[in-house]
Amino acid sequence: MDMTNFKKNDIFEAEVLDLTHEGQGVVKVDSYPFFVDNALPGERIKMRVLKVGKSFGFGRVDEFISQSEHRTTQLNLDYLRTGIADFGHLTYNEQVKFKQKQVVDILRKTAGKEDFPVSPVIESIKTIKYRNKAQIPVQMVNGILTTGFYRKNSHSLIPVEDFYIQHPEIDAVVLFLRDEFRKINLQAYDEKTRKGWLRNIVVRRGFHTSEMMVSLVVTSKKLPENVDLVIDKLVEHFTNIKSVQLNINNGTGSFILGKEFVLLYGKDFITDLMLDKTYQISAPAFYQVNTPQAEKLYETAFEFAELKPGDIVIDAYSGIGTIGISMADRVAEVYGMEVVPAAVENAKRNAQLNELENTHYEVGTAEKIMPKWLDEGIKPDVIFVDPPRKGLDETFIKSATATNPRRIVYISCNPATFARDVVRFENEGYILDKVQPVDLFPQTHHVEIVALLTSKK
């Protein structure tokens, strides 16, 4: 199709055929695909062309001619515009069906797994108000300090007060700070002029303990006038806040956190429980954002591992130690590796808190530490991996399989890189045995996977 036939603001009537993995409806006009927010399969719409590219374009719904029976209509459309809840217009039952289909499709396309028996998604206990962490951008909008969320694919802020998927007390802290900072005329950071102090408000809340941590991402450790009084009011109003910190980020990149933290109040960590173990969580450390679902995720992983009392286990990408510490009393030894030094310190302290003497944690990348441990003669029976979205490094896969563990349990937040890594594991003599999706992120397109790989040898 010659894309020059389409112009911005053209209007077409069309049927929505499918959803992209990010929740946009797929519409085809003369076989040319458009991606459309707030459009569900089976709906007929009048679509306005927003942008035309070489292979696909973007449109928006001008009018619904017919709507899907699976649509939820009470959703604030700002949640779709910002991506806070890019599946929030779809009933929860259909969300989990779609996520399961996504995993099936990506395994077929990338790993050549025709009709692999992917289990139905383990549904979330809570489908809204579940997140224990928020990273909220702050901008001056019409001269007023405003909190909200960025419009998709931009740094244009849409004001939001109820973030829908965050715990309500986190929302309350953000709004309290917004209102108090307005009273003292605090200036938010401006990306264009590089002036202003406050960039983001980051809040963490322990699910089982209710302890809270507030990190203000700022351009300088020097406090503007009266900010100290706002902090005093904050900790007086929210008595379960145990930590307030500055995070210094004066860079121009898109990353949220800088490397330096300055403690303003309390301790540099909060405490929470997971699977009856106690954890200290520092500001830069990774901790699953949906605690009850993370507990289901880990229990599934432990079932897949079929742990034995004499097992030596490696917990790669160990974070603050949640996976390794949760299972340490079921096995002989746990070795964990993690690239974030503060998280490793957390893991070591967490092992002490839980009176464990069979855990060992080391700072470094998985692809460097794994060959080192192989040289040192550490022979794991089971390896757990829980990498970031980019998946596993090929060096790590080769080193891990060279130790010939009985089982490898792969926890993934990205089906695409997981499927790619399945092929790499199969090249090294391991086969995919089980795949269990778990919904840690209701109302969004994200899905977590627990998978079991076993040796052919």
Which of 243, 274, 305 is at the close of a domain? 274
Cα–Cα distances (Å) from 323 to 185, 254, 274, 370, 444, in that order, read 44, 30, 10, 18, 24
**Per-residue pLDDT tens over the stretch 412-422:** 999 999 999 99
**Per-residue pLDDT tens over the stretch 197-229:** 999 999 999 999 999 999 999 999 999 999 999
What is the number of structural domains in the chain? 3
Asked if residue 301 and residue 270 are part of one domain, the reply reads: no
Number of C-beta neighbours around residue 105 at 10 A: 14
For a pLDDT cut of 70, what percent of the chain falls above it?
A: 99
Q: Given this model, what pLDDT does residue 202 score?
A: 98
Number of C-beta neighbours around residue 246 at 10 A: 23
Q: Given this model, what pLDDT does residue 374 score?
A: 86
Which of 274, 304, 324 is at the close of a domain? 274
Whether 240 is in a domain gets the answer yes
For a pLDDT cut of 90, what percent of the chain falls above it?
A: 89
Return the half-sphere exposure (C-beta side, CA atoms, 13 A cut-off) of residue 418.
32
**Per-residue pLDDT tens over the stretch 333-359:** 999 999 999 999 999 999 999 999 999
Whether 123 is in a domain gets the answer no
User: Which residue out of 235, 370, 413, 440 is catalytically annotated?
Assistant: 413
Q: Given this model, what pLDDT does residue 33 score?
A: 96
Q: Which residue has the tokens 């408000």?
A: 201
**Per-residue pLDDT tens over the stretch 49-92:** 999 999 999 999 999 999 999 999 777 888 888 889 989 999 99
Asked if residue 385 and residue 319 are part of one domain, the reply reads: yes
**Per-residue pLDDT tens over the stretch 129-176:** 999 999 999 999 999 999 999 998 888 999 999 999 999 999 999 999
Instruction: List the CATH number of the domain containing 236.
Output: 2.40.50.1070
**Using the 8-state DSSP alphabet, how is residue 54 labeled?**
S
Asked if residue 222 and residue 190 are part of one domain, the reply reads: yes
Confidence bin at 21 (pLDDT 50/70/90): confident
Whether 104 is in a domain gets the answer no
Confidence bin at 4 (pLDDT 50/70/90): low
Q: Given this model, what pLDDT does residue 367 score?
A: 86
Asked if residue 417 and residue 269 are part of one domain, the reply reads: no
Residue 379 is among the residues annotated as catalytic for this protein: no
Whether 115 is in a domain gets the answer no
Whether 295 is in a domain gets the answer yes
Domain range holding 11? 3-69
Confidence bin at 177 (pLDDT 50/70/90): very high
Asked if residue 202 and residue 232 are part of one domain, the reply reads: yes
Residue 2: is its pLDDT beyond 70? Answer: no
How many Å apart are CA 232 and CA 234, to the nearest integer? 5
